[in-house]
Amino acid sequence: MNPIVGWALAAAALAAAWYSYRWPGLALAATVIVFWLLLQFNRALRVMKNASYAPVGHVDSAVMLNAKLKSGMTMLQVVGVTKSLGRKLSDAPETWAWVDASGATVTITLDGGKLTHWALTRENTAP
């Protein structure tokens, strides 16, 4: 979700709660907002914990990773799919890479925190 939309919805919920129930409604709306933020934080921690068990920049199958990627994914979603932190290649544009055991590499490019481009490259296996 877009952060601006999320905060606008939170502000609208606070305003509606205040208008309807005054202080008790405001307390309930604030509790729901904090609970939502804790759920998002817990999700991010779970993804990072799962990624901590794998070597940096390594995936089981680069071909399967390439098939699962979609435009607009966030880095948190990509790390959730790879179950590994990527190897950072550059800052501008933000580029990350993952390699599998066969030498195939998936390189992704993020723009504004969203996946915009990815490419699968394989080692030349000609005899």
pLDDT (tens digit per residue) in 75-109: 999 999 999 999 999 999 999 999 999 999 999 99
Q: Are residues 49 and 67 in the same domain?
A: no
Domain count for the chain: 2
- The residue range of the domain holding 29 is 1-53
Please name the residues in contact with 115: beta carbons below 8 A apart, sequence gap of 6 or more.
69, 70, 71, 72, 73, 74, 78, 108, 109
pLDDT tens digit sequence for 20-64: 999 999 999 999 999 999 999 999 999 999 999 999 999 999 999
CATH number (domain holding residue 106): 3.30.1450.10
19 pLDDT tier (thresholds 50, 70, 90): very high
pLDDT of residue 72: 95
Residue 126 falls within a domain, yes or no?
no
Q: What is the pLDDT of residue 106?
A: 98
Tell me how far apart the alpha carbons of residues 53 and 51 are, in angstroms, rounded to a whole number: 5
> Is there a single domain that holds both residue 66 and residue 46?
no
Gap between the Cα atoms of 20 and 23, Å rounded: 9
